[in-house]
Amino acid sequence: MMRRLLLSSSLLSAIATTPTASQSSPACDLLDLVGATAKAPLSPAWQVRAVRGEQAPMLALVDSANARFLRVSGTARAAWHVREFATPWREPSARLSWVWRVSVAPTGADLTSAKTDDSALRVFVVFDHTSRFTRTPRTIFYTAQPTGAAAYERRSFSGNDLYVIGLPASGDAAAWSPVSVSPLVDYQRIWKRAPPAIVAIGFLQDTDQTRSFSRADLMSLCLQRDASFSP
């Protein structure tokens, strides 16, 4: 799947109605699930862009066991769900955190294979950098892996401006996996350059290569200053 995921620059144009990351709610929930409804599980601040030739996965708002979360599911589907920032994140530090789980992983998916590197869920960060030769902005994809799987990361099969980092996601329907990453630190480690601004955050599910069914849940998504950062 990743060899086909090229994010056009038009998708990252500024949206005046989108709040900046630093203006997020006190709960720092970029998903805005508090105000979500069954008919509109994502707020208008989010854009949904199906990968060419594919349908977008189904989104459902779920209230269960005193928790509200977003369920992403589908068979042979793929789409970007993007929240752009009207004002790019230019803070010197950033901590991105979320909680997820994968109840059904795509059958036959293999992150090490260009032909079957589908995923039940990826959280991605888009940076304000494009090269002279491509309109694709540099993007890191934090990709769900089974708990206990060996650590894995690599450049995308489609080019050096996309990077995949595997992270554990619980496969237990009753358990969640909290995740916390430092995208600016990861950018500097990967591309050996000072990180530019963050212009968008998003998530996607892709099962178009394995043509299989997948289901994953996402409970929160928060971008904030890294309290442990010291200049």
pTM above 0.85, yes or no: yes
Per-residue confidence (pLDDT) for residue 74, from 0 to 100: 97
CA dist 17 and 19 (Å) reads: 6
Per-residue confidence (pLDDT) for residue 230, from 0 to 100: 63
Mean pLDDT by 10 residues, the chain (231 residues): 46 36 52 93 93 92 93 96 93 94 94 93 94 83 88 88 94 89 96 95 96 96 84 65
DSSP for 145-185?
Answer: EETTPPP-EEEETTEEEEEEEEEEEB--TT--EEEEE-HHH
The four Cα atoms 50, 56, 57, 59 give a dihedral, to 10 degrees, of: 100
Per-residue confidence (pLDDT) for residue 231, from 0 to 100: 65
Per-residue confidence (pLDDT) for residue 228, from 0 to 100: 77
Domain positions in the chain: 9-222
CATH superfamily of 9-222: Galactose-binding domain-like (2.60.120.260)
Q: Are residues 144 and 218 in contact, defined by beta-carbon separation less than 8 angstroms?
A: no
